[in-house]
Amino acid sequence: MMDVITPPTGTQAIDRAARILTHVLEGDTRFTVGALSDAVNLPKSTTSRLVGALERHGLLARDPEDGSLLPGPAIDAYARRARIDPSLTDLAQDLLESVATVTGETTTLSVPTPRGVEQIAQADGAYILGSTNWMGRTVPFHASAVGKAMLAFGATALPTGQLESLTDKTLTIRADLVRDLEATRQRGYGLSVEEIEPGLIAIGAPVRGADRRVVAGVAIAGPSVRITPDRYAAIGELLVRTADELEARITSHGLEEGAA
């Protein structure tokens, strides 16, 4: 009687994926899929399938040059945020409050994550209309002012499939985004005009770490009746100066690279 090879149960699949992830995270050298399959004693097809699942969830990534496996953006984001988030928010809070006082609008500090831009600190504006609680919210990179600033200045790449999942007019959106990011680089700050929801305007500037890599962003958001086009430049320049001050604080306090 022939032995029947049954597919792995859900628990077995989870256990195998965990073994794969652990080997990549704890290994002294980088693994290709083939080398990893040998290391964890699994068929290459099974290893490849599980690696693909881990990649889709941001837990693993591949070096574009040699295909070796690396910790994914979700792992990287968690590790870096766990190191310095408390210090980052402490350093930024009075700066956020100053911007909120000057502009009258809710001001936020955010960091890039695999899911989008996550708000981690906030100073409330002076108005009832527009005083949204942004804490813990995640907004798309391509539709938010601070997300555009992060993309334009190289903090992150747009997550695979994010645009495709939104509309069947992907090519139009992508072309518009390319133009928008170029304008963002020229201005020094991002602008979102009613892209998150009707009537909401946001302006955001990138914050760099000690190594000059963009690690966070500061932004204001409010209704179009108050944040009118004639105010965009002045607010944007204020946010750029605020971001520069936060960068100086990050450097002087010796925070490790990365805020997300």
β-strands 69-71, 138-139 pairing: unpaired
Residues 6+ apart with CB under 8 A from 142: 148, 151, 158, 162, 163, 173, 177
Residues, the chain, total?
260
> What pLDDT was estimated at residue 253?
77
Q: Average pLDDT for residues 45-72, to the nearest whole number?
A: 87
For the chain, give the percent of residues with pLDDT over 90. Answer: 41
> What pLDDT was estimated at residue 257?
43
Give, in degrees to the nearest 5, the angle at Cα 142 between 140 and 143: 70
The string of pLDDT tens digits covering residues 185-241 is: 999 999 999 998 899 999 999 998 877 888 899 999 999 999 999 999 999 999 999
Please check whether residue 144 is in contact with residue 115, taking contact to mean a CB–CB distance below 8 angstroms. no
The distance in angstroms from the start CA to the end CA of the chain is 56
d(CA 100, CA 48): 50
What is the secondary structure of 169-187 as a DSSP string? Answer: -HHHHHHHHHHHHHHHHHH
Q: Any idea which residue has 């892209």 for tokens?
A: 195
Q: Which residues pair with 207 in a beta bridge?
A: 216
Mean pLDDT for all residues in the chain? 82
What is the secondary structure of 41-101 as a DSSP string? Answer: T--HHHHHHHHHHHHHTTSEEE-TTT--EEE-HHHHHHHHHHHHHHHHHHHHHHHHHHHHH
pLDDT surpassing 70 at residue 38 = yes
What is the secondary structure of 118-156 as a DSSP string? Answer: EEEEEE--S-STT----TT-EE-TTTSHHHHHHHHTTS-
> What pLDDT was estimated at residue 158?
54
pTM here? 0.64
> What pLDDT was estimated at residue 95?
97
d(CA 119, CA 112): 9
Assigned token pair, 181: 């990011």
The string of pLDDT tens digits covering residues 114-170 is: 778 888 999 999 887 766 777 777 888 888 999 999 989 875 555 544 444 444 444
The secondary structure of residue 221, as a DSSP letter, is E
> What pLDDT was estimated at residue 85?
53
Q: Which residues pair with 191 in a beta bridge?
A: 203
